[in-house]
Structures are given as structure tokens and as C-alpha cells.
Amino acid sequence: MPDTNEKWGIILITNEQVLEALDDVEDPEVHRSIVELHMVKSIEINGAHVRVEVLLTIRGCPLHTTIERAVREKLLSLDGVRTVEVAIGHMNDEERARFAEIVRGKRSQTAIPAVLDPALGIEFIAIASGKGGVGKSTVTAHLGYELGQLGLRVGIVDADIYGFSIPGIFGVQLQKPTMIDDLIMPIELGNLRLISMQYFVPDNSPVVWRGPMLGKMLRNFFSQVYWGELDVMLLDLPPGTGDIALDIHQLIPKSKEIIVTTPHAGAAEVAVRAGLMGLRTNHEILGVVENMSHFVCPGCGEKTYVFGQGGGERVAQDLQTDLLAQIPISNLEMETTSPFDTGGTQRESYQRLAERVMSAVRLGRRNLPKRSLYN
Ligand SMILES: Nc1ncnc2c1ncn2[C@@H]1O[C@H](COP(=O)(O)OP(=O)(O)OP(=O)(O)O)[C@@H](O)[C@H]1O
């Protein structure tokens, strides 16, 4: 309860009450209290006027108006506060390092990045294919989106260094992740958090990737990115059967795999090889997705098997696993409001795929509020 000046009947607000109120205001990226994150630098109270200085991690932070508004609203809701002034400042190096330290929590004593700690219960699913261009990144993005729609908190690591396509699919290729000290904030889209090597390659310049570099990059994505709480993490792997599978095995021995192929016999053959590599490293194969399975005529509904038939079935049989979904070729003529609003049979196939994946990894639905991708 605020103190009351008995003589004048005026409510006097205290520093503690202001701090207590600000404790409810969250940093919009980290989702933790601005008080806990030491972002409230000073509080001055002058009768019914309160002035607070809030420190942001970086200059020109696009979220400053969100924080400013939340602080103002919160303080104006207090009895005894009439006017509020919010001054926005910026952290110096020392303050930023302390902020990063609080967000990161105690550094792990082992070499294992915190997000890989099995105690957190995050399900890791690597999406692999034998050859490029079969739609592995498209499937990863849509699966991530639909799992998010089911209320799961989803992380996506775009590790496909031969074609970083996931940011483009979500339309966020021009955004830049915020860096705070050595902490990287992923791009947040509703229930999804995304990180891609694309954000770290200057001007998309070509990079010669060698096995150890890929492993190092993955390790950094797990140790330096602030993932917050996640239910599932999807990894879009580069196509092929190379070193990356071994890196994944070493780093995430419990990772599961989904193999993507097209119905074409050639694609299926290499997909089996990619799957066998996964099995050799003891990864459970959750199943196979046959992409570009067929084209559904928008007029009469008839199916045309543009790339042949049976590829997905064959890969599933050879790897003794399930054919999880057959995704049709999208109708490029269709006008959509979002890249995921593909409508018709394609959207249904992705929704079914997400349901099957969710039950295969035994993840329960969460009653998280549905959040739109783009606020
Ligand atoms: N079901 C589909 N219908 C129509 N086009 C599709 C479908 N799936 C993927 N595509 C298109 O095929 C192209 C390749 O897809 P994508 O980049 O997802 O493949 P990829 O296997 O990840 O390839 P790479 O590993 O070489 O990046 C993209 O232009 C994508 O839009």
C-alpha cells in the first residue's frame, strides 16, 4: 500500500513500489523482467511525477517504443502516479556483459552447450535428404510453422550451408539477429525462433565449408544463441551423407531424423543412403516425407504424378520406417496472404505431418496462446 501524507491526503509513492511494478514489464526479446535484467538504471520521484531511466542493450533498438510504452502504462496504473517520464539510455560494455551473463545463466561446467542438456527435454529433429532441391528446407519451415500452430515452442537451425533458404521462406532474410555481448538473439516469429548462417555471411558471399567448420558453426548456434524455452528444435541439414551427420551424432546423440525425398527413383536412392548414415550413427528415423508427390488439378481434383511414383514408399521400406506424409506440388497460381497459407491439400498434408511428428516424439499439446508470425 502506498503511504498517505496524513495532513494533505496525498498518496506518496516509493521507489520499492515503482520497482515492484516494473518487475512485471518484460524485455520483448528475452521475455524476462527488466528489473531482473538490470535495465532500470534510476528512479526519481517528485510528488506524483515519476522519472525512470531504462537502459537498452543496443543503440537504435527497434523495440524501444514497446518497452517505453509498457513502462509508462505500468507506472500510470499505480495509485499516486500522475505523470511519467521514461528516459531511454544505452548500456556500456560492462553493463551489456552483465546483461548477457544474466540471460545466459551460469556457464555450463561441461563442454555441452546448455540447450543440449537432456534434462531440458527438448526434442531434436534433423531434417535430411540425399540430394539438394527436393524441398527439405521447405518441409522444415512448414513443419516448424505447423508445430508452432499446435502450440509448441519451436526452434529452427538452418544449417543448410549450401542454400540458406529458411529465412527467405519466412520472409525475414533481411532482418539481423540482435547481438548482446557474445549472445545472439534468434529471429522470433510467433512461437518460432530461427537462426541461420545466412545472417552471418557478409553479403551472401560464397564460403568454402569444410567438415570441422560446420561442426563449429552448429556448436556456436547451440551455445551462443539464446533459445529460451523450447519444446522442439528442427535442424535443416545440408543435403548429402557427409561429415555433418557425424557432427550431429557427436553433439546430439538423441537427435531423431526425418528423411525428405521426391517420388523420383534417383532421389529415393540417395535418400536411403542418407537414412542409412543416420541409422549407423544410432539416430532414430521418425519417418519419410515424400515431397512434390503429385499435382492436384485445381479444376477437377485429378492427381498427376509429375515425378513418378513410389519413391517415398521405397525409402520408408528400406529404412524400415513410416511414410509420414506425401506433400503435393503447390499451385503457384494461388494467391495467399502468408507463405504458409497454402490452402487445400498441401496445407492439410503439412498439418497431418505435424500431428504425426508430435505424437511420434510424444510431445503433448501446450495451451500457449496462438501468436501470429508477424506482429
Ligand atoms: N511441394 C512443393 N511444390 C512446389 N514447389 C516446391 C515444393 N517443395 C519445394 N518446392 C520448391 O523447390 C525449390 C527447392 O526447395 P528447397 O530449397 O526447400 O529444397 P532443399 O532440398 O532444401 O534444397 P537445398 O538443400 O539445395 O537448399 C524451392 O524453389 C521451393 O520453393
Taking the CA of residue 165 as reference, the ligand 1 atom at the shortest distance is 17
DSSP 30-48: T-SBTTTTT-EEEEEEETT
Q: How far apart are CA 197 and CA 195, in angstroms?
A: 7
User: Could you tell me the domains of the chain?
Assistant: 3-104 (3.30.300.130), 114-360 (3.40.50.300)
Q: How far apart are CA 276 and CA 285, in angstroms?
A: 9
- Give the pocket of ligand 1 (CB within 6 Å): 129, 132-138, 160, 162-163, 165, 239, 291-292, 327, 329-330
Q: At what angle do helices 265-280 and 243-251 cross, to 10 degrees?
A: 40
306 close to 295: Cβ distance less than 8 angstroms: yes
CA of 15 to the centre of ligand 1 (A): 56
Taking the CA of residue 327 as reference, the ligand 1 atom at the shortest distance is 1
Q: Over the stretch 104-140, which tens digit does the pLDDT of each residue have?
A: 775 554 556 778 888 888 999 999 998 888 999 999 9
Q: How far apart are CA 371 and CA 375, in angstroms?
A: 8
For position 334, what pLDDT does the model report?
54
Q: Is 218 helix (H, G, I), strand (E, B) or coil?
A: helix
Q: Are strands 232-236 and 192-196 parallel, antiparallel or unpaired?
A: unpaired
For position 109, what pLDDT does the model report?
47
312 close to 293: Cβ distance less than 8 angstroms: yes
CA of 124 to the centre of ligand 1 (A): 22
Taking the CA of residue 292 as reference, the ligand 1 atom at the shortest distance is 1
Q: How far apart are CA 14 and CA 75, in angstroms?
A: 12
For position 339, what pLDDT does the model report?
66
Q: For residue 60, what is its C-alpha cell?
A: 537504435
For position 279, what pLDDT does the model report?
84
Q: For residue 316, what is its C-alpha cell?
A: 520408408
Q: Whose CA is nearest to atom 12 of ligand 1?
A: 135
Taking the CA of residue 330 as reference, the ligand 1 atom at the shortest distance is 3
E-assigned strand segments in 208-364: 232-236, 256-261, 284-290, 295-296, 303-304, 323-326
Q: Whose CA is nearest to atom 23 of ligand 1?
A: 133
Q: Whose CA is nearest to atom 25 of ligand 1?
A: 132
Residue segments in the chain with a per-residue pLDDT below the cut of 50: 109, 368-370, 375
For position 121, what pLDDT does the model report?
86
- Listed in sequence order, the residues at least 6 apart from 136 whose beta carbon sits closer than 8 Å to its beta carbon are 127, 128, 129, 160, 236, 237, 239, 260, 291
Q: Is 331 exposed, middle or buried (0-12, 13-18, 19+ CB in 10 A)?
A: middle
- Given the C-alpha cell 497431418, which residue does it identify? 352
E-assigned strand segments in the chain: 3-5, 10-12, 40-46, 49-56, 83-90, 123-129, 154-158, 179-180, 183-184, 187-189, 192-196, 232-236, 256-261, 284-290, 295-296, 303-304, 323-326
Sheet with 83-90, edge to edge strand ranges: 40-46, 49-56, 83-90
For position 249, what pLDDT does the model report?
73
Using most ligand atoms within 8 A of CB, pick from 131, 137, 327 the residue to mutate for ligand 1. 137
pTM for this prediction: 0.80
